[in-house]
Amino acid sequence: MSKLSPIIQNISEKIELLNQRTEKAEEEKLTLKKMIGDLSEQLDSKQHEIEKLEEENGKLRMANSLSGGGEAVTETKLKINELVREIDKCIALLNG
């Protein structure tokens, strides 16, 4: 029985160490989940900001080309024609 006591003590210490490591891993897991949530929110925000900037960029390009930007005049005319066709389709659907 005296030989079993140190073995049991050793096993007990190892179990305690495993419990501590498990608790630490759980805490780290929660921290990482929070970081993932925060980064996900930041990503969504940045994607929304990119979409707004792309839309604004398109508007600025259109305004620039309408103000006599030269080479983009034909591109602008094509875009306007495309928009007019889309509006005509919408009107036709509404009347239809």
10 inside domain: yes
Structural domain contains residue 20: yes
Q: Which helix (H) or strand (E) holds 21?
A: helix 4-66
Reported confidence tier of residue 71, pLDDT bands at 50, 70, 90: low
The answer to the question of residue 38 being in a domain is yes
Helix (H/G/I), strand (E/B), else coil: 69: coil
Query: Does some domain include residue 85?
Result: no
60-70 confidence digits (pLDDT tens): 887 777 776 56
What is the arithmetic mean of pLDDT over 25-35?
97
- Is residue 12 one of the residues assigned to a domain? yes
**Stated pTM of the model:** 0.51
Number of compact structural domains in the chain: 1
Which residue segment(s) compose the domain that 34 sits in?
A: 4-70
Helix (H, G, I), strand (E, B) or coil at 72: coil
pLDDT at position 78 over 90: no
> What's the CA gap between 4 and 7, in Å, rounded?
5
Instruction: Examine residue 82 and state whether it is found in any structural domain, yes or no.
Output: no
CA–CA dist 62, 69 (Å, integer): 9
Sorting pLDDT into bands at 50, 70 and 90, what band is 51? very high
Residue 95 belongs to some domain of the structure: no
